[in-house]
Amino acid sequence: MNKGGSMSTHTSPRRLAALVGLGLAMASGAGAESRAVAVRCGRLIDGKTDEVLKDAVVLVAGERIQAVGAGLAVPADATVIDLGRSTCLPGLIDNHTHLLLQGDITAADYDEQLLKESIPFRAIRATVAARTALQNGFTTLRDLETEGAMYADVDVKTAISRGIVPGPRLFVATRALAPTGTYPLLGYSWELRMPEGVQIVDGADNLRRAVREQVKYGADWIKYYSDRRYYLKDGVLRSWVNFTDEEAKALVDEAHRLGRRVAAHAIGRDGIASALRAGADTIEHGDGLDDETIDLMVRRGVYWCPTIYVGAYVAEGRAAAGAPIWKTMVDLERQAFGKALRKGVRISFGTDAGGYAWTEGQAREFSYMVRYGMSPMQAIRSATSVAAALLDQQDNLGALEAGRLADLIAVAGDPLTDITELERVRFVMKGGAVVKRE
C-alpha cells in the first residue's frame, strides 16, 4: 500500500480527508511527512471524567492522540478539522456483536441463514455490517461468535486491519462452545446431518482441546453458552445449565492459561451462577441476575453486557412463535439493571447486533440504558472507558486522552441532554484516519 509517497506536505485538507477516507493515510511513524491534525470540538466528552470541555482541541499525530485540551495552541502547519459546532466523544465500543449474523428473531430466521447461505456469502455480508457499524461511530467491536461461520470472523478482522475493507477494530471469539443437544440447529430428522451454530464439545479434556484449537486459529476471546431453557419459578428466572462444573471450569482454566478471557452467555440465575463458579470474565445478557450473583460479580470484578434492546426487539416475535417467557425477561432485565447499577457492577455497552438487523443501529441501546437508570454520562462511559477496560485496552481505547489511539466521533447536538444524538453520528475518525464526515 502507498504509505504516503504521493502525498506532499502541501496536500490540501480536503484531499487529505479524501485520501484517508480511502484508507490511504500514512501509518503512524511515517516520518516528517506525517502532519499533525488538529480537531476543533465545540464540546468534548472524554469518556472518562464528568467534565465537558468547551472549545477543545484534540491534536492527533499519526494514529494516536498527542494532546487534548481547551484553548490548546494549534501548530501552524497542522491540518485543522473544524467540529466547532459539534460534540466530540471517543469512538464507541460495542462488546457484544455478531457480524456473521443478519438478524434472527425466530429459530426459522436463524436456520435459514445457516442452511441457505454459504460461509463466503456470510463473510461478504459481515463486511457490510462492519462498515455500517463504523459509519455509525463504532470504532471497536468484541464480536462474540460466528454462529456457524467457523473462523470467518478472523478473516474479516484481518481484512479490516490490512485496510482491504473498512470496519471497526475487532476482538473476535470465533466459534463459541456448547455441549451436544443444546444449540441450534435442532429439531430436524435424526437422518440429517445439520450444521451447528457453535462448536459442539463434551467433556473437560475435549473442551481444553477445543479452546486450544480456537486460539490456534485466532480467537481473542473464548465464548461459551452457559445455559438454555429459561423459565420462571417463584419470581426467579431459572435455566438449564449446559456444562457440568468440571467442564466449564476446564474451559475457563484453559482459556486463562492461554491468555484469553471468557465470555459466558448466561440468562437464567442457574446459568449465571454456573458461569461465576467457573470463573467467567463477562456475563452476557444476564436477565436473571439477583442480589447474590450481583454481589459476586462486584467482588470479582466481572463485567456485565446486558444487551437490553435486542431482548425487547425479539420478545414480540419469539412470544408469537410460542415462547412468552421472552416478554417476561424484558421486565426482569430492567429490574436486574437497576439493582446492578446501584450495587456497582461494571456494566459494559453490548448490543447483540446481528441478533437484530445491523440496519437498526446499535446506538439504540443507549436510550434503554438511560431509561433503566443510567445517567447519559454513565451510558457513554459504558461504551467508552468501561468497555475499553473490559477489553484490557485502557491504554489504547475508550478515551480522548494523550497517548490513546485517535478514535473520535462527533454528533451535532448534546448527547447529555438527548442520548439519541448518538444514533446520528456525523463524523468518525479511526486511528487518526477520517472515515466519515457529513
Which of 423, 395, 431 lies closest to 64 in space, CA to CA? 431
Distance of CA 245 to the CA centre of its chain: 28
Minimal distance, residue 45 CB to Zn ion, in Å: 28
Is the four-CA dihedral 13, 16, 22, 26 of positive or negative sign?
A: negative
Inter-residue contact 330 to 312 (CB < 8 Å): yes
Our CB check for Zn ion shows the closer of 63 and 333 to be 333
CB nearer to Zn ion: give 145 or 421: 145
Instruction: Closer to Zn ion by CB, 287 or 401: give it.
Output: 287
Which is nearest to 313 in space by CA: 255, 272, 352? Answer: 352
Tell me the C-alpha to C-alpha distance, in Å, between residue 108 and each of 185, 186, 298, 315, 317. Answer: 10, 11, 38, 15, 11
Q: How many residues bind to Zn ion according to rule CB under 5 A?
A: 1
CB of 406 to Zn ion, least distance (A): 29
At residue 45, the 3 state secondary structure works out as strand
Q: Shortest Cβ distance from residue 144 to Zn ion (Å)? A: 5
Q: How far is the CB of 147 from Zn ion (least distance, A)?
A: 8
Q: Is the Cα torsion angle 35, 36, 42, 46 positive or negative in sign? A: positive
Judged by CB under 5 A, does residue 352 bind Zn ion?
yes
Shortest Cβ contact with Zn ion: which residue? 352
Question: Which of these segments, 108-116, 133-141, 223-231, 352-360, binds Zn ion (CB under 5 A)?
Answer: 352-360
Instruction: Decide: is 153 part of the binding site for Zn ion (CB under 5 A).
Output: no
Which of these ranges, 72-80, 125-133, 347-355, 366-374, lies near Zn ion under the rule CB under 5 A? 347-355
Stretch that binds Zn ion, among 85-93, 183-191, 350-358, 415-423 (CB under 5 A): 350-358
Q: Residues 137, 70, 418, 371: is their CA dihedral positive or negative?
A: positive
Looking at the Cβ atoms of 111 and 352, the one nearer to Zn ion is: 352
Cβ proximity to Zn ion: between 98 and 404 the closer is 98
How far is Cα 162 from Cα 174, in angstroms, rounded to an integer? 19
Nearest residue (CB) to Zn ion, 63 versus 352: 352
- Nearest approach, Cβ of 305 to Zn ion (angstroms)? 9
Which x/- pattern, by CB under 5 A, does the window 295-334 give for Zn ion?
Answer: ----------------------------------------
Question: What are the C-alpha distances in Å from 415 to residues 13, 81, 119, 138, 157?
Answer: 28, 21, 38, 16, 30
What x/- string results for residues 187 through 206 when contact with Zn ion is judged by CB under 5 A? Answer: --------------------
How far is Cα 79 from Cα 236, in angstroms, rounded to an integer? 57
Q: Does 365 bind Zn ion (CB under 5 A)?
A: no
Least Å distance, CB 97 to Zn ion, is: 8
Nearer to Zn ion, 198 or 406 (CB): 198
Q: What is the DSSP string of 70-126?
A: ETPPPPTTPEEEEEEEEEEEEPEEEEEE-TT----SSHHHHHHHHHHS-HHHHHHHH
**Cα 347 from Cα 305, distance rounded (Å):** 6
Q: H helices within 144-222, ranges in order? A: 152-161, 204-216
Footprint (CB under 5 A) of Zn ion, residues 57-116? none
The piece of 120-128, 193-201, 290-298, 351-359 that touches Zn ion (CB under 5 A) is 351-359
Residue matched to cell numbers 444476564? 286
Which residue from 338, 320, 154, 177 is spatially nearest to 243, judged by alpha carbons?
177
Q: Which is nearer to Zn ion, 97 or 367 (CB)?
A: 97
Q: Which is nearer to Zn ion, 247 or 352 (CB)?
A: 352
In the complex, the residues that contact Zn ion under the rule CB under 5 A are: 352
